[in-house]
């Protein structure tokens, strides 16, 4: 059994768990915090462990030891947190019928733990600043500091602005892979990754974060582990679910890397409502479109009121794509995000960029703000006389005066465009806002409620 401990490791307790009268040998290894490393006096140590992966990998190492050697029992514990001189950092115990197996297994386990576990070590020195240490192998340590990590980049960006930024990335596929890698390595302080999907074999040619042995794993979870390994100085959170407006909490910017119009508009509407800027890209074969939404400055609905049908636009599943194209567009998403986080605007905040990835022709279309756009106005309230004009002739009026909230939610499911009406227009407005936040983007509220003469 492999575990991670935040408490001081008690060797005697662990040893008693391994007591076995049939075993001819018990070998114990204790790795301890020593007072020096590479010529510097060390006063204490700090370990940061990536729990999920470390527990999985640790269990795998112990199983490999069992398969290789003839063991009775085996147990290993790795410390995390702040350790003092002399504290046990790693404890390994193995029992076997013969000492040779127990010796070899213990040696094998400590070597593999050093190589494979996602554990970061920070050394606190007597006469120098504390440093994170990456153990490349048993004899070679690389020391690095956060400022060194961004040395070349901080010439061209304000690193503190990036460190303070909190970015939500929806979709960890073809667009999300390059965008998330670039933002993680650029030092965006907090990344929140959202994707419900699992890695499939036909993703691998373009979604370069993943390997064939990751097939079947959840994209956002796997991406969060890999990004955290790439840059230990940032925080990465994974949400293995569909997009939900609640995920916008404490977020400064959203990157939309999804591939269907319904989700894109749902993200757009939620960002507009919660006043969170959004950078979004779409790709059809070799044609890409990149745009930025700054709430209060016009929206997508100003121009294209209704969600376009995916079937009319096409997507990579049906028409195919190549990693070179998708990764270019994903990189542009991250570069637009960095520019926005630096200056509050970027080159696609006023115009939509259209780019042909085969011949590199590009053009920009200036965005237009429509004064009567209900989405920009944000309240989704309409006058009775405007129902047909604004929602189209196929809209239905739903009188919710005798319906419970649940009944309203139920009856919305199978309808396209609905205008809710109640006594005075207060409850219908509240429900319309809730339904819109859940993705029902054609629900309106009748201003002033039902006229009763």
Per CB under 5 A, residues contacting Zn ion are 299, 301-302, 373, 375-376
Nearer to Zn ion, 302 or 446 (CB): 302
Instruction: Report d(CA 289, CA 43) in Å as an integer.
Output: 54
Nearer to Zn ion, 225 or 299 (CB): 299
Cα torsion angle, 415, 420, 421, 422, sign: positive
Q: Closest distance between Zn ion and the C-beta of residue 175, in Å?
A: 24
Q: Give the H or E element holding residue 420.
A: strand 418-421
| DSSP 8-state code for residue 69 | S
Q: Closest distance between Zn ion and the C-beta of residue 280, in Å?
A: 15
Nearer to Zn ion, 2 or 265 (CB): 265
Q: Closest distance between Zn ion and the C-beta of residue 272, in Å?
A: 8
Q: Which of 395, 370, 402 is nearest to 446 (CA)?
A: 395
Nearer to Zn ion, 79 or 301 (CB): 301
Q: Closest distance between Zn ion and the C-beta of residue 290, in Å?
A: 19
Instruction: Report d(CA 374, CA 131) in Å as an integer.
Output: 54
| DSSP 8-state code for residue 203 | G
Tokens 């905040």 belong to 349
Q: Closest distance between Zn ion and the C-beta of residue 441, in Å?
A: 12
C-alpha distance from residue 237 to each of 105, 167, 217, 220 (Å): 36, 10, 16, 9
Say if residues 290 and 353 touch (Cβ distance below 8 Å).
yes
Number of H helices, E strands in the chain: 16, 22
Of all residues in this chain, which one has the CB nearest to Zn ion in the complex? Answer: 373
Nearer to Zn ion, 219 or 291 (CB): 291
Strand partners, 170: 194, 256
Instruction: Report d(CA 286, CA 409) in Å as an integer.
Output: 40
Nearer to Zn ion, 316 or 376 (CB): 376
């Amino acid at each position: 059994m492999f575990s991670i401990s935040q408490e001081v490791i008690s060797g005697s307790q662990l040893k008693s768990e391994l007591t076995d009268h049939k075993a001819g040998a018990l070998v114990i290894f204790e790795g301890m915090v020593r007072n020096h490393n590479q010529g510097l006096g060390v006063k204490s140590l700090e370990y940061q462990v990536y729990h999920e992966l470390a527990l999985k990998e640790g269990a795998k190492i112990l199983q490999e030891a069992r398969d290789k050697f003839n063991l009775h029992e085996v147990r290993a514990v790795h410390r995390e947190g702040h350790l003092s001189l002399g504290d046990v950092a790693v404890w390994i115990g193995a029992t076997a019928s013969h000492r040779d197996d127990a010796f070899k297994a213990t040696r094998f386990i400590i070597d593999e733990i050093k190589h494979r576990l996602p554990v970061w070590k920070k050394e606190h020195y007597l006469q120098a600043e504390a440093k994170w240490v990456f153990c490349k192998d048993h004899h070679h340590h690389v020391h690095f500091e956060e400022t060194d990590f961004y040395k070349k980049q901080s010439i061209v960006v304000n690193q503190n602005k990036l460190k303070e930024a909190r970015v939500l990335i929806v979709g960890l596929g073809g667009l999300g892979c390059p965008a998330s890698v670039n933002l993680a390595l650029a030092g965006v302080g907090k990344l929140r990754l959202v994707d419900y999907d699992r890695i499939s074999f036909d993703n691998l040619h373009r979604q370069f974060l993943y390997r064939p042995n990751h097939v079947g794993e959840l994209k956002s979870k796997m991406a969060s582990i890999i990004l955290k390994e790439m840059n230990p100085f940032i925080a990465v959170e994974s949400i293995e679910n569909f997009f939900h407006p609640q995920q916008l909490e404490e977020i400064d910017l959203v990157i939309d890397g999804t591939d269907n119009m319904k989700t894109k508009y749902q993200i757009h509407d939620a960002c507009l409502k919660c006043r969170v800027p959004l950078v979004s890209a779409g790709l059809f074969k070799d044609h890409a479109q990149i745009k930025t939404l700054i709430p209060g400055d016009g929206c997508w609905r100003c121009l294209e009121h209704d969600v376009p049908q995916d079937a009319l636009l096409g997507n990579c599943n049906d028409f195919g794509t190549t990693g070179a194209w998708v990764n270019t567009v994903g990189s542009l998403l991250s570069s637009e995000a960095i520019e926005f986080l630096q200056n509050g605007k970027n080159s696609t905040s006023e115009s939509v960029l259209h780019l042909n990835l085969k011949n590199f022709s590009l053009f920009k279309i200036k965005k237009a703000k429509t004064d009567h756009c209900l989405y920009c106005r944000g309240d989704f309230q309409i006058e009775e006389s405007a129902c047909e004009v604004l929602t189209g002739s196929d809209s239905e009026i739903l009188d919710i005066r005798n319906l419970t909230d649940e009944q309203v939610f139920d009856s919305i499911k199978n309808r396209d465009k609905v205008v809710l009406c109640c006594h005075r227009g207060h409850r219908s407005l509240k429900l319309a806002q809730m339904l819109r936040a859940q993705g029902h983007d054609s629900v309106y509220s009748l201003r002033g409620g039902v006229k009763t003469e």
